[in-house]
Structure 1
Amino acid sequence: QRDGIPVIFDVTHSLQLPGAAADGSAGAREYAEPLARAAVAAGADGLFLEVHPRPAEALSDRETQLDPERAGRLLGDLLAIRRVLADRAGS
């Protein structure tokens, strides 16, 4: 960031557990929200997050994707964190 390059945190792939499933990667979806919140609080400029209407049926990354409703709630939380940080920076 200090060099003017945006920092993007890849939520989906940071949750993967390569080789942990018989047919490929497993994942830890339950950590998506806390890791995304931590990334935004730490100053990430953006997030990469995969969303699927039925994550269990996704052709890839099914163990780490969020459904649209859950992703929407998370985005609301993340915007609230950004607002707090912006308010503090402006004080």
Structure 2
Amino acid sequence: MKIRIYRETPQGFDKIEIDGDTAEIVANRAAVEGFQCKGFNSNPAQRLELQGAPKFTGLTGPMWDGDAIRYECSTLYAELSA
């Protein structure tokens, strides 16, 4: 599983990519970057690739990004959705 997290920094926005064999490994690696896992996605209306993906406090997502699962900080999400 590969995820991309887009976050806001004092310099603007940056991207973190995290790979792992399982959603739990990915969630643990994201915790090292300061993102707290709040559970795992089980929304049956979403595509199969997103099932079981971690959900993080303060981030929107999971969203499909072509070859990875995408998460965005709320500021970037609002900017891109406007």
Tell me the TM-score normalized by structure 2.
0.30
Q: Which has the larger radius of gyration?
A: 1
Tell me the TM-score normalized by structure 1.
0.28
Higher strand proportion (structure 1 or 2) = 2
Higher helix proportion (structure 1 or 2) = 1
